[in-house]
């Protein structure tokens, strides 16, 4: 969002000012270029590193005081790894994490202990994250062993009972064991433990994903109530976009270790500009059958590439219907594109970022054109395309080149090409290794939209 010396390349257009939500406070967490690679080794006695799983690869964002930042993305895109690195449960490979301005990513010993008090985590699975042999009182009071200053020994029972009360559980349950509680109640116990040290930030890693839908809302409501009561800042990780929307002030979308779009809930849900976000949103279940019929679902083809060997350039390009040559050679930075206005003027990592209704009509034009050329009606062309996509998913090639709607529309032209990244906030670690001619990891994914503008062949 900064402007560079050469002009106003990535400046937010003036009339877009209204689109930027006024942050609730100062940033409490500042994450810059965070990288976490897990080494891949070979050999039993002498271990040799043969590669790395790039679980988190250059992620930057701010968490503002008192806000809830939702993080969404498919399984395996690095959400939990990001959470663990922020918590210092896993050491970062590189990058910076600041808590209230203080660098915390390399802290150890007492300094780390002090920071940990302020950043707590609520885990996904309340069934496995609570020790079955400990009473609820011991589970919730365990953090006091490490931080006795928060609740001296004589006060602990009362402190735990207060916490049970705060999360809506009967304080008399203090001597019960986890198996005596339902899933929702167990997650309340997990939340009480997370609150014990009076943290300022809570990282919730899919806190309701393992719960029944009816219970999910109760836990979400509890989290919202606690946020107001204790001025908490949340990072809320989930793969369910509807839940994230309900609770979040802003939302970040991750794909294969990178943040691909970030903005207010209105910007993301109503004005998504990254193709991956648009595809995710198009797959959100719609309860109303009529609306379901009407919506235009984007069927993504191919699997997520391996994070050990991600595609060069844009990591989404092997599944993107808008991919062009530039996408294979140039990493798209997470910036505000200068041609976007209003709600669309928010950060995305796409060279051709645009709201979907623009490209949708382009895609539709592509369908109609292609159908007209081939003398078939539009519905049949779409069915044919979807059948082709299904076949590609099962490993068969497309039945008929040119039937896909993907890539047949011209991508939006890009003003300011070549000027991106000049002095932008997020620099991209690892870019030196990218664009070095790695092909897509998935055979066959390059066959999408076998019309002119499909993804380029591996360099």
Ligand X SMILES: Nc1ncnc2c1ncn2[C@@H]1O[C@H](COP(=O)(O)OP(=O)(O)O)[C@@H](O)[C@H]1O
| Residues 400, 406, 412, 418, CA torsion sign | negative
Nearest distance from residue 229's CB to ligand SF4, in Å?
Answer: 40
Q: Is 351 in the site for ligand SF4 (CB under 6 A)?
A: yes
| Site stretch for ligand SF4 (CB under 6 A), options 108-116, 136-144, 231-239, 350-358 | 350-358
DSSP string, 381-406: HHHHHHHHHHHHHTTPPPSSTT---T
| Residues 54, 68, 284, 222, CA torsion sign | positive
Nearest distance from residue 386's CB to ligand SF4, in Å?
Answer: 20
Q: Is 316 in the site for ligand SF4 (CB under 6 A)?
A: yes
> Out of ligand SF4, Mg ion, ligand X, none, which partner does residue 350 contact, by CB within 5 to 8 A per kind?
ligand SF4
Nearest distance from residue 11's CB to ligand SF4, in Å?
Answer: 21
| Residues 358, 364, 368, 371, CA torsion sign | positive
Q: Is 322 in the site for ligand SF4 (CB under 6 A)?
A: yes
- Which one, 199 or 313, has the nearer CB to ligand SF4? 313
- Which one, 117 or 356, has the nearer CB to ligand SF4? 356
Nearest distance from residue 314's CB to ligand SF4, in Å?
Answer: 3
| Site stretch for ligand SF4 (CB under 6 A), options 123-131, 223-231, 344-352, 438-446 | 344-352
> Out of ligand X, Mg ion, ligand SF4, none, which partner does residue 69 contact, by CB within 5 to 8 A per kind?
none
Write the burial class of residue 15 (CB in 10 Å: 0-12 exposed, 13-18 middle, 19+ buried): exposed
In DSSP terms, which residues pair with 39 in a beta bridge?
A: 52
Q: Is 323 in the site for ligand SF4 (CB under 6 A)?
A: yes
**Beta pairing class for 250-255 and 233-238:** unpaired
Tell me the two tokens of residue 46.
Answer: 């002498």
Nearest distance from residue 298's CB to ligand SF4, in Å?
Answer: 12
* Residues belonging to the chain: 459
- Among 307, 313, 332, 430, interactor with ligand X by CB under 6 A: 307
The phi, psi pair for 375, rounded to 5°, reads: 75, 30
- Which one, 399 or 452, has the nearer CB to ligand SF4? 452
- Which one, 245 or 337, has the nearer CB to ligand SF4? 337
Nearest distance from residue 77's CB to Mg ion, in Å?
Answer: 9
Cα(391)–Cα(297) distance, integer angstroms: 18
Q: Any residues with CB less than 8 A from the CB of 414 and at least 6 apart, and which?
A: 337, 339, 351, 352
CA distances from 316 to 183, 192, 239, 399 (A): 36, 39, 17, 23
Q: How far from chain centre, in Å, is Cα 15?
A: 28
Q: Is 421 in the site for ligand SF4 (CB under 6 A)?
A: no
Specify the DSSP element, H or E, that contains 33.
Answer: strand 27-42
Nearest distance from residue 249's CB to ligand SF4, in Å?
Answer: 25
Q: Is 199 in the site for ligand X (CB under 6 A)?
A: no
Q: Residues interacting with ligand SF4, by CB under 6 A?
A: 274-275, 314, 316-317, 320, 322-323, 327, 332, 350-352
Q: Residues interacting with ligand X, by CB under 6 A?
A: 38, 53, 55, 73, 75-81, 307
């Amino acid at each position: 969002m900064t402007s560079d010396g050469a002009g106003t390349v990535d400046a937010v257009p003036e009339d877009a000012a209204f689109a930027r939500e006024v942050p609730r406070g100062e940033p409490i967490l500042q994450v810059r270029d965070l990288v976490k690679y897990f080494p891949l080794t070979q050999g039993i006695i002498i271990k040799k590193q043969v590669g790395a799983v790039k679980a988190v690869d250059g992620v930057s964002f701010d968490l503002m005081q008192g806000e809830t930042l939702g993080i969404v993305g498919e399984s395996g895109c690095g959400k939990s790894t990001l959470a663990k690195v922020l918590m210092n449960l896993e050491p970062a490979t590189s990058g910076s994490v600041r808590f209230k301005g203080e660098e915390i990513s390399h802290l150890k010993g007492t300094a780390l202990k002090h920071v940990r008090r302020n950043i707590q985590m609520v885990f996904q699975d309340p069934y496995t994250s609570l020790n079955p042999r400990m009473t609820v009182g011991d589970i919730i009071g365990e953090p006091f062993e490490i931080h006795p200053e928060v609740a001296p020994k004589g006060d602990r029972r009362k402190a735990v009972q207060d916490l049970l009360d705060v999360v809506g559980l009967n304080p008399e349950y203090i001597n019960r064991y986890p198996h005596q509680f339902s899933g929702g109640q167990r997650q309340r116990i997990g939340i009480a433990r997370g609150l014990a040290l009076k943290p300022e930030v809570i990282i919730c890693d899919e806190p309701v994903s393992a719960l029944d839908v009816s219970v999910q809302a109760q836990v979400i409501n509890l989290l919202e109530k606690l946020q107001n009561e204790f001025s908490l800042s949340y990072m809320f990780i989930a793969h369910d976009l509807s839940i994230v929307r309900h609770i979040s002030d802003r939302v970040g979308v991750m794909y294969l270790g990178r943040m691909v779009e970030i903005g207010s809930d209105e910007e993301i849900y109503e004005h998504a500009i990254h193709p991956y976000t648009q595809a995710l949103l198009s797959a959100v279940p719609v309860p109303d059958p009529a609306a379901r019929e009407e919506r235009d679902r984007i069927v993504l083809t191919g699997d997520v590439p391996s994070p050990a060997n991600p595609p060069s350039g844009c990591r989404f390009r092997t599944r993107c219907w808008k991919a062009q040559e530039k996408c294979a050679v140039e990493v798209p930075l997470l910036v505000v594109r200068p041609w976007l206005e209003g709600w669309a003027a928010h950060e995305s990592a796409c060279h051709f970022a645009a709201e979907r209704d623009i490209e949708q009509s382009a895609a539709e034009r592509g369908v109609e054109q292609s159908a007209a050329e081939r003398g078939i009606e539009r519905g049949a062309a779409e069915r044919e395309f979807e059948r082709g996509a299904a076949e590609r998913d099962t490993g068969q090639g497309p039945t008929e080149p040119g039937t896909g709607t993907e890539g047949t529309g011209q991508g939006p032209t890009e003003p300011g090409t070549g000027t991106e990244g000049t002095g932008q906030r997020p620099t991209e670690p690892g870019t030196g290794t990218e664009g070095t001619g790695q092909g897509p990891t998935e055979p066959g994914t390059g066959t999408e939209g076998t019309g002119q503008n499909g993804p380029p062949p591996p360099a």
